[in-house]
Amino acid sequence: MPSYRAPIADIMLALRATGLAEVLTLPGAEDVCEDLVEAVLSEAGKLAADVLAPLNAPGDRQGSRLENGTVRTPDGFAEAYGHFVDGGWTGVPFDPEYGGQGLPWMVGTALNEIWQAANMSFGLAPLLSAGAIELLDSHGSAEQKAQWLPKLISGEWTGTMNLTEPQAGSDLAAVRTKAVAAPDLGDGVYRIFGSKIFITYGDHDLAPNIVHMVLARISDAPPGIKGISLFIVPKTLPTAEGGLGAANDLRCVSLEDKLGIHASPTCVMAFGDQGGAVGYLVGAANHGIEYMFTMMNNARLGVGVQGVGQAERATQAAVEYARARVQGGDASVRGGPSVSIIHHPDVRRMLMTMRARTQAARLITYLTAAALDTAKRHADAALRAEAATRAALLTPIAKAWSTEAGIDVANLGIQVHGGQGYIEDAGAAQFLRDARIASIYEGTNGIQAIDLVGRKVLRDGGVAARALASELAAIAERSAATLPGLQAPLADGLADLEAALEWVLSHPDAVSAQAAATPFLTLFGLVLGGGLLVEQAVIATAEAEKAAAATTAGFFLRHLLPATAGHLATIRAGAADLVALHEDAFVAA
């Protein structure tokens, strides 16, 4: 498999283009400077290149396995996780009070990209732990924070989320796992009974304990999502001193046989086969969905970054192959010698598409992280609220648009390799197989689109979306003086975005909104990505860096952004064609 090199210069430029300087002025981040950020990323790049990336292909081939009731990760993963913990990487963006380093979430997001690019299966373990940490930090009691956060933030223990059941996928109102009060064990302690599926790292040998965040229904709770509560259910019960006590009543029943991320154990979990798994209620009863959305939104951004990581890895591999593979003559020289395929215009089209979409997705995820930092840290409550609204608007775009980019870029990577790309030994196929899940879990991309239209755009009448669009228009204006040629195509894209907004706002019924949702999100992502690429080119300073950024932005705006017109036409077509056929007509005759 081709090697991985963390693109530190590209990451730093993207961070600067999405507001790193402003984030580093926020309370709690004043002692962090850009040089420190770059140094942290460089160290992460070494771990990724030297330890994690070399395990990616072997881990894919070997996979995790269930042996005598215990999940074993591929050879080398446990040792690699030990290096990860020793470096303190889990705790980079978390509260120093519980052992974290307190760096901005922007930095944590950039680090996540490096982990996901190097080895997505490995990177899922700290990604889920990060969500559990944020959930407990936001909703746990003081006692729960003191008990669980230090172990999770250090990486000594890992965390998971347990939502899905066979009958309860996207519809969490159908959750049946039950929680029965156990007053003999103390206030807020319950016994958990039920099963969960698709639990990433539900069991493993990386750490001695796993802290499961489990949705369950307390006896006599209201029906639907308003009757679901959230529980901490550890694999091993802690002692009063914080050590490991007795095993809890839960187990991994089986591992799923998946298309990709083979090294990541995806578990079917059983709770309560031997009298009930001990669980500790988080917050108030019947507020579990509300609390779990804190973890889910954290994971949605993290999964969007998985798309960036796989896109970057696929691009690096495709460029390496295209530079080495000699085939055919230069199109500009009749009868000339054979050249490497990177000189062929169609291969260049694919490579430029891969590069531009990867960088646009990176910028979108980093902008989302910057909004989260401002929402958490700013001294002004009004500005915190404004940033939280911005983060909520961006999260479904960051998740869906970036994961689609990861899939499409990895698919192009196979095409660049030609026949070799279809052979597993080349490594290009794994990037696509791994990337494919990211558009499905943590809420399918269709659900992200419905969330964007229904909960974000229609709910506030398009105010937040138009505020973001106005900032993109300002970027277009600023570019006119130094980067002529970029303003007009970005303005055209913004006009299509405004027209799409007008249509969505004037068709608020559920069927019309859901029919328009996916093309609307795709259109919005294209315009946002294009605007941020222009901003990146504007703020670049080094001559070579600025030239490359301007070329990439120009390609995106002239070759990819015009697709907004097609998406706008699809939106305006409405739902009639989607719902006209009777369901029986879909069955082969």
How far is it, in rounded angstroms, from Cα 34 to Cα 117? 22
Mean pLDDT, residues 523-543: 98
Q: Is pLDDT of 111 > 80?
A: yes
SS (H, E, C) 471-531: HHHHHHHHHHHHCCCCHHHHHHHHHHHHHHHHHHHHCCCHHHHHHHHHHHHHHHHHHHHHH
Q: Is the pLDDT of residue 174 over 90?
A: no
Structural domain includes residue 187: no
Residue 432 in domain? yes
Summarize the confidence of residues 454-478 as an average pLDDT.
Answer: 98
Is 438 a member of any domain?
A: yes
pLDDT at position 226 over 90: yes
Q: How far is CA 392 from CA 202, 368, 396, 451, 452, in A?
A: 28, 9, 8, 10, 9
In a domain, 367, yes or no: yes
Q: What is the pLDDT of residue 41?
A: 99
pLDDT of residue 150: 98
Question: Which residues fall within 8 angstroms of residue 241, CB to CB, at 6 or more apart?
Answer: none
Mean pLDDT of 14-41: 98
Q: How far apart are CA 510 and CA 394, in angstroms?
A: 21
**487-506 and 510-539 helices cross at what angle (nearest 10)?**
160
The per-residue pLDDT for 335 is: 83
Residues taking part in catalysis: 442
The pLDDT score that the predictor gives to residue 171 is 77
Half-sphere exposure of 578 (CA within 13 A, CB side): 13
φ/ψ of 65, rounded to 5, equals -145, 155
What pLDDT is attached to residue 333? 87
Residues 347-398: pLDDT tens digits? 999 999 999 999 999 999 999 999 999 999 999 999 999 999 999 999 999 9
What is the amino acid identity at position 3? S
DSSP state of 3: -
How high is the pLDDT of residue 462?
A: 98
Average pLDDT of the residues of the chain:
97
- Look at the chain and report how many structural domains it folds into: 1
Model pLDDT, residue 336: 84
Give the CA distances from residue 395 to residues 20, 94, 301, 534, in Å, rounded to whole numbers and listed in that order: 18, 20, 6, 21
- Residue 421, domain extent: 291-576
Q: Please tell me the predicted confidence (pLDDT) of residue 167.
A: 86
Q: What is the pLDDT of residues 487-502, one digit of tens each?
A: 999 999 999 999 999 9
Determine the average pLDDT of the residues in 119-123.
Answer: 99
Strand partners for 236: 247
Q: What's the confidence (pLDDT) of residue 515?
A: 98
Which backbone phi and psi does 212 adopt, to 5 degrees?
-85, 130
> Taking 80 as the threshold, does the pLDDT of residue 1 lie above it?
no
Tens of pLDDT, residues 67-108: 999 999 999 999 999 999 999 999 999 999 999 999 999 999
Looking at residue 332, what is its pLDDT? 85
95 burial via Cβ count (<10 Å: 0-12, 13-18, 19+): middle
The CATH number of the domain where 543 resides is what? 1.20.140.10
Question: Residue 130 — φ and ψ, nearest 5°?
Answer: -60, -40
pLDDT digit string, tens, across residues 259-307: 999 999 999 999 999 999 999 999 999 999 999 999 999 999 999 999 9
Residue 565, in any domain of the structure? yes
Q: Which of 146-155, 329-338, 391-400 is predicted with the least confidence, judged by mean pLDDT?
A: 329-338
What is the reported pLDDT for 46? Answer: 98
**Helix count and strand count (H, E) for the chain:** 19, 14
pLDDT at 169: 74
Percent of the chain with pLDDT over 70: 100
Look at residue 173 in the predicted model and tell me its pLDDT. Answer: 78
pLDDT(168) > 80: no
Contact 190, 228 (CB under 8 A): no
Choice among 44-48, 168-172, 306-310, 455-459 with the minimum mean pLDDT:
168-172
Q: Is the separation of the CB atoms in 106 and 369 below 8 Å? A: yes
Strand, coil or helix: what is 221?
coil
- Which is more confident, 412 or 330? 412
Whether the per-residue pLDDT at 194 is higher than 90: the answer is yes
